[in-house]
């Protein structure tokens, strides 16, 4: 979110300077409202309204015009390529020598024999829009020859870019940031309290299908509205934070959304069918062309605003073209609503839409703010005499929430924060944040957090508020008391650490994957656990195996030109057990390509490399009760696969991926994969627990060469040797 510093100064006594902005940014960041960066908007030279008295083609250039411009104090000759000029029009002009807001210099010079003594400006050149098609033609009802537009446009400003956490929707506004800054600095906050005396009783009826989806819906109708450009100050404030000015009505709703944090929407009242507004779920097959020009197919997951006939807007997301405010609009309906955050998130997700409004509603809006926001829009339009009459508020508020009450014990706050707190500091912090103190005694406060603070529900939430406003950097470091901190790790944690050390020592690289997948699996059967609200197409399900993640990592490495790939991962997989979701830890191994990374030669990994890694791995964990048997899943090569057993129980598999399956992946060579249950490994591992004396005599090793029938498995030979008597 971006905020103009001068806009903040409407509510606080602030000095506009780089030093002041740096101090404010640091204070806010330390308190949790992170300022990522701030940008200075340089003031241009004086911008004067000038009248084009004469306009002619340049005598030496067919694509240039020569304009004689009157600025009251002087007459200027200006050469321009703009084709939208006409004699008598009023335009912004900067006389030479001068400069634009972006620092570009304007010098008096000659173009093919004709002098140019200044520059006629477009909105783009003045920073009011991204792209202009011509010179900005000023509204003669608002401006006259010689008017100084510089102060009206409000340059010499800083734009602060904030990273606001999802639990603080109250900070998605100028007043929200100003409130934080007020309690941090002790400066008085000028709280806006817009009101409006209605001219007539509204005849608009509001019907809410499900109060859980729409806790509150408020509206006001305005009669005889004149659609025109907004005041320059409003236009430029919106443009500075990336919002394109459109007209006075739309700009007023956007301005209020940024200022107070509550999204609003204007409708063309004359394009309604009937006088009833129905907030309901869309019916299957309904369509709506939204303001971005897209015709959208709606489903039962989409909350809509409808008239007597059809949907006219996507609730909490975007308006529809059927009720759009245009230059032909005469009567307007202003909407201020509170929608359920989960409903808007689901509705926006099914349509693949994200807007400034939906971002706010998804975080949770204050139902108490709807009337105040509409009154602010009305106030802005009334100041410019943009309408003749306004109605009282039509308000449907089925179930106002009960007042929140939260106790805060001073002793509890001090024990958690680790410092002694002054009672007056605690109360000043809470009241400064808008938290009402209902009762107080020597030991505790009974408070009522405002409805806009959706994150304040428990005592610990209030403790956090006191700590962050006091300043985390001001809390001294204190070592923990002896005996109160558990410095010991569990056996599982120790085995995982040991396993990672062994596998990296064997030349494998660890991968860390999210527990999501496309819904694919490399092996196994059973139900894949799909997500109801996926974060994207690539994260639509919980992964059922480690192998699919390792293959994707290997494929990505191969595409980057890596021809020696050796990976491992220890992580969660998810599955359905007795119809309920469950999870387990798995170990995955993957080999493909050249055996020796960075060494000449084309010798590739084979099955015996995978088997050798397993031998060293289990030896490092002091596990001897394992064996391989010739078998395995069908997706492995029939002659190069094995099942691994630990204490007689199947632990997993290891082998070469069948060439038919491997073709689906972009890999450098034959690929070998192993996947094993990790819990039995943790249970069996005995790499810790005591020591033995070093042997007194040197060891002597023997290489046994045996002749056995081909039908005998290696595991049988190993088992026979281990069971026999040993000399030490």
Q: C-alpha distances in angstroms, 718 versus 65, 294, 629, 640, 667?
A: 96, 70, 12, 20, 34
Helix (H) or strand (E) holding 271: none
Q: C-alpha distances in angstroms, 467 versus 189, 457, 472, 496?
A: 21, 16, 6, 37
Give every CB contact of residue 77 below 8 A, 6+ residues apart in sequence.
66, 67, 68, 69, 114, 115, 116, 117
Which range (16-25, 662-671, 682-691) has the least confidence?
682-691
How far is residue 570's CA from residue 587's CA, in Å, rounded to a whole number?
5
Give every CB contact of residue 139 below 8 A, 6+ residues apart in sequence.
90, 228, 229
Dihedral angle over CA of 657, 663, 665, 666, nearest 10: 120
Give every CB contact of residue 621 below 8 A, 6+ residues apart in sequence.
495, 498, 499, 502, 681, 684, 685, 686, 687
Quickly tell me which residue has 């200022």 as its tokens: 259
pTM assigned to the model: 0.69
Note the Cα 138 to chain centre separation in Å.
38
Locate 556 and state its tokens.
């990505």
How far is residue 314's CA from residue 280's CA, in Å, rounded to a whole number?
10
The predicted pLDDT at position 480 comes to 63
Phi and psi (nearest 5°) for 394?
Answer: -90, 120
- Say if CB 216 and CB 210 are below 8 A apart: no
The predicted pLDDT at position 689 comes to 59
Please give the average per-residue pLDDT across 196-216, as a whole number.
Answer: 94
How far is residue 379's CA from residue 668's CA, in Å, rounded to a whole number?
68
Give every CB contact of residue 393 below 8 A, 6+ residues apart in sequence.
198, 202, 218, 219, 220, 371, 374
Tens digit of pLDDT for each residue in 230-244? 999 999 999 999 898
How far is residue 706's CA from residue 627's CA, in Å, rounded to a whole number?
19
Tens digit of pLDDT for each residue in 319-362? 999 999 999 999 999 999 999 999 999 999 999 999 999 999 99
The predicted pLDDT at position 613 comes to 95
pLDDT at 314 over 90: yes
DSSP 446-473: EEE--TT-TT--SHHHHHHHHHHHH-GG
Please give the average per-residue pLDDT across 192-204, as a whole number.
Answer: 92
How far is residue 123's CA from residue 103's CA, in Å, rounded to a whole number?
15
How far is residue 116's CA from residue 119's CA, in Å, rounded to a whole number?
8
């Amino acid at each position: 979110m971006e905020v103009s510093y001068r806009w903040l100064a409407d509510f606080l006594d602030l000095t506009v300077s780089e030093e002041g902005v740096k101090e404010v940014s640091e204070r806010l960041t330390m308190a949790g409202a992170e300022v990522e960066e701030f940008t200075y908007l340089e003031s241009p030279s004086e911008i004067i309204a000038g009248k084009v008295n004469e306009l002619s083609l340049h005598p030496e250039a067919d694509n240039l015009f020569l304009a004689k411009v009157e600025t009251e104090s002087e007459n200027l000759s200006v050469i321009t390529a703009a084709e939208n000029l006409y004699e008598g029009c009023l335009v912004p002009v900067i006389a030479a020598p001068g400069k634009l807001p972006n620092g570009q210099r304007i010098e008096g010079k000659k173009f093919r024999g004709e002098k140019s003594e200044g520059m006629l400006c477009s909105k783009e050149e003045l920073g009011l829009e991204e792209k202009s098609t011509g010179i900005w033609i000023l509204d003669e009802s608002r401006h006259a020859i010689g008017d100084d537009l510089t102060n009206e446009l409000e340059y010499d400003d800083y734009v602060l870019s904030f990273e606001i956490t999802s639990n603080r929707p109250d900070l998605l506004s100028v007043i929200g940031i100003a409130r934080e800054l007020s309690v941090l600095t002790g400066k008085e906050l000028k709280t806006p309290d817009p009101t409006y005396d209605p001219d007539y009783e509204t005849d608009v009826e509001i019907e809410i299908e499900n109060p859980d989806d729409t806790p509150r819906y408020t509206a006001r109708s305005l009669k005889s509205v004149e659609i025109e450009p907004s005041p320059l100050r409003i236009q430029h404030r919106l443009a500075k934070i990336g919002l394109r000015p459109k007209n006075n009505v739309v700009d007023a709703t956007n301005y209020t959304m940024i200022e107070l944090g509550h999204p609003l929407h204007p409708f063309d009242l004359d394009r309604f069918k009937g006088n009833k507004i129905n907030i309901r779920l869309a019916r299957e097959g309904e369509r709506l062309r939204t303001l971005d020009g897209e015709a959208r197919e709606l489903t039962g997951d989409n909350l809509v605003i409808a008239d007597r006939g059809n949907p006219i807007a996507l609730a909490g997301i975007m308006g529809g073209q059927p009720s759009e405010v245009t230059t032909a609009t005469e009567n307007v309906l202003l909407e201020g609503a509170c929608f359920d955050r989960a409903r808007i998130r689901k509705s926006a997700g099914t349509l693949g839409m994200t807007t400034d409004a939906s971002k706010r509603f998804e975080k949770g809006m204050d139902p108490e703010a709807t009337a105040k926001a509409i009154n602010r829009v009305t106030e802005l339009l009334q100041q410019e005499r943009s309408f003749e009459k306004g109605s009282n508020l039509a308000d449907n508020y089925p179930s106002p929430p009960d007042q929140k009450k939260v106790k805060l014990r001073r002793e509890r706050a001090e024990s958690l924060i680790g410092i002694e707190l002054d009672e007056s500091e605690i109360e000043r912090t809470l009241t400064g944040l808008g938290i009402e103190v209902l009762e107080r005694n020597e030991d505790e406060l009974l408070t009522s957090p405002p409805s806009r603070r959706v994150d304040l529900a428990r005592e610990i939430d209030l403790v956090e508020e006191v700590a962050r406003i006091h300043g985390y950097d001001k809390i001294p470091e204190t070592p923990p008391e002896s005996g109160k901190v558990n410095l010991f790790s569990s056996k599982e944690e120790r085995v995982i650490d040991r396993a990672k050390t062994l596998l990296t020592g064997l030349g494998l690289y660890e991968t860390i994957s999210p527990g999501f997948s496309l819904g694919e699996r490399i092996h196994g059967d059973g139900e894949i656990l799909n997500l109801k609200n996926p974060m994207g197409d690539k994260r639509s399900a919980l992964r059922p195996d480690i192998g699919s993640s390792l293959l994707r990592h290997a494929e990505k490495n191969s595409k980057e030109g890596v021809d020696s790939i050796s990976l491992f991962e220890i992580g969660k997989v998810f599955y359905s057990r007795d119809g309920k979701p469950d999870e387990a830890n798995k170990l995955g191994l993957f080999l493909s390509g050249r055996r020796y990374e960075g060494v000449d030669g084309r010798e590739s990994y084979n099955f015996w490399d995978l088997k050798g890694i397993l031998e060293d791995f289990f030896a490092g964990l002091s596990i001897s009760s394992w064996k391989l048997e010739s078998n395995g899943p069908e997706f492995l090569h029939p002659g190069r696969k094995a099942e691994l057993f630990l204490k007689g129980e199947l632990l997993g598999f290891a082998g070469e991926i069948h060439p038919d399956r491997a073709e689906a992946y972009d890999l450098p060579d034959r690929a070998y994969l192993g996947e094993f249950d990790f819990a039995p490994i943790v249970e069996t591992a005995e790499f810790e627990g005591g020591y033995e004396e070093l042997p007194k005599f040197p060891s002597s090793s023997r290489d046994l060469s045996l002749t056995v029938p081909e039908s005998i498995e290696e595991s049988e030979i190993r088992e026979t040797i281990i069971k026999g008597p040993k000399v030490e």
